[in-house]
A = this chain, B = another copy of it.
Amino acid sequence: MANGSTLLVGIAQGIQRPSALQRMLPSATRRVLNVQLTELEHHGLVSKTIFAELPPRVEYELTDLGRSLLPVIEVMEQWGNTHRTALEQALAGNLAELPN
């Protein structure tokens, strides 16, 4: 879910080529990136254009449906930023309780 919204925001900011999107998600392999881009495409949130060049160039764009999701992503990110410390403390506290 987090990668999906990161990709949508990146594409909205004009980062449209897979190689550039990959740099936004260093922890994701190219295969994972492609799976997530295909998932976004299947949900009608992005469209993919393949330019008949050598080597072929691929670019992604937000669809209207994808664009309509940006305010929701914004609300989620604001919540995350506001509550990051409380979330981290909860996770840290609960991890301490786990039997090691």
A89 at the interface (CB under 8 A from B): yes
Q: Kindly state the interface size class of chain A when it binds its partner.
A: 20 to 34
CB of A67, distance to nearest CB on chain B (Å): 11
Return chain B residues, CB-CB under 8 Å to A83. Answer: 65, 68
Q: Is the interface of A mostly helix, strand, loop or mixed?
A: helix
Q: Copy number of this protein in the oligomer?
A: 2
By the criterion CB–CB under 8 Å, are B72 and A87 in contact? no
A75 at the interface (CB under 8 A from B): yes
A44 at the interface (CB under 8 A from B): yes
Contacts A/B (CB < 8 Å), 29 sampled: A1-B1, A42-B90, A42-B91, A42-B94, A42-B95, A43-B87, A43-B90, A43-B91, A44-B86, A44-B87, A44-B89, A44-B90, A44-B91, A44-B93, A44-B94, A45-B90, A65-B83, A65-B86, A65-B87, A68-B79, A68-B82, A68-B83, A69-B79, A71-B75, A72-B75, A72-B76, A72-B79, A75-B75, A76-B76
